[in-house]
Amino acid sequence: MIKKNKHKTILINVAGLLLISGMLTAIYLIFIWAPVDRRLGIVQKIFYFHVASAWTAFLAYFIVFVLGIIYLINRNFKIDLLASASAEIGILFTTLVLITGSLWGRSSWNVWWTWEPRLTTTLILWFIYIAYFLIRDSIEDPEKAARLSSVYGIIGFIDVPIVFMSIRWWRSRLHPVVFGKGLERNRGGLEPEMLFTLLFSISVFTILFMFLLYTSYKQKRLTAEVNSIKENLRDQL
C-alpha cells in the first residue's frame, strides 16, 4: 500500500513537472517562436490557447459521455464523481473559450459577440452543462441524481459534434476551417510552425486537464466520504 502511494506521488510530481515545463515551452513557442500572421498581426496568437481550451472542453465532455454510459452499466458511484469532476472542468474551459473568443471577435471582427453558428452552438453547450449541475444539485437522492445526470451527460454530448461541424454545415464566414480541408478552401490552414505550436499547446492543455481532473475528483471523493461518515454518525447520535 505504502509502495503504491509512493509510486502515485512520484507519478503526480512527474506530471506536475511536465505540466509546468510544457506550459513554459508553450508560452515561449506562442510569444516568440511562432510567426506573426501577416493579415491579423499578433492578435492571431490568441488562437493557440483558444483552440486548446476548446479541445480540452470537448475532451472533458467526451469523458462525461463515456463515464455516463459506464455508470449506467455498473452503477459505481466513483465513476459518477469522476464524470461530475470532468463536467466541471468542461464548464471552466468552455467559459474560457467564450471569453477568449469574445476578445478575438472584438479585435478581428470589431464585435464582442455575434450570433454566428460556432459561437451560438458553444453558448448552448455551456448552458447544457450548467444545467447538468442544476440537475445534480436539485435532486436529493444521490443515486437518482447520478443516474439522471449520467443520462443527461450522454444526451448533452450531442452538441459537441454540432459545435465542431457548425462552421462546415452552416458555412461560417467568420470562423476559418483550420483542420481538414482548410488549405484547399483557401480560408484556413496553418503554416508548419503555427501547426506545431497549436498541437503543442493542445498537448499541454491535455496534461493540464488530467491534472485538474485528478485534483477535482480526489476532492469530490473526499467530500462524498466525509458526508457519508457524518450521516452515519448523526444516525447514531
DSSP result, the chain:
-HHHHHHHHHHHHHHHHHHHHHHHHHHHIIIIISPPBTTTBGGGGHHHHHHHHHHHHHHHHHHHHHHHHHHHHH--HHHHHHHHHHHHHHHHHHHHHHHHHHHHHHHHTS-S----HHHHHHHHHHHHHHHHHHHHHH--SHHHHHHHHHHHHHHHTTHHHHHHHHHHHTT-SSS---SSSHHHHTS----HHHHHHHHHHHHHHHHHHHHHHHHHHHHHHHHHHHHHHHHHHHHH-
Q: Which is nearer to another protein, 27 or 145 (CB)?
A: 27
Which residue of 160, 167, 208, 213 would you call a contact of another protein, by CB under 8 A? Answer: 208
Question: Out of 22, 34, 49, 63, which residue is the one contacting another protein (CB under 8 A)?
Answer: 49
Q: State the binding string over 71-110 for another protein (x if CB under 8 A, else -).
A: ------------------x--x--xx--xx--xx-xx---
Segment interacting with another protein, rule: CB under 8 A, options 40-48, 117-125, 140-148, 179-187: 40-48
43 touches another protein (CB under 8 A) = yes
Is the Cβ of residue 149 or residue 216 nearer to another protein in the bound state?
216
Binding pattern for the stretch 159-198 against another protein, x by CB under 8 A and - elsewhere:
----------------------------------------
Where do contacts with another protein occur on this chain (CB under 8 A)?
27, 42-43, 45-46, 49-50, 53, 89, 92, 95-96, 99-100, 103-104, 106-107, 208, 212, 215-216, 219, 222-223, 226-227, 229-230, 233-234, 236-237
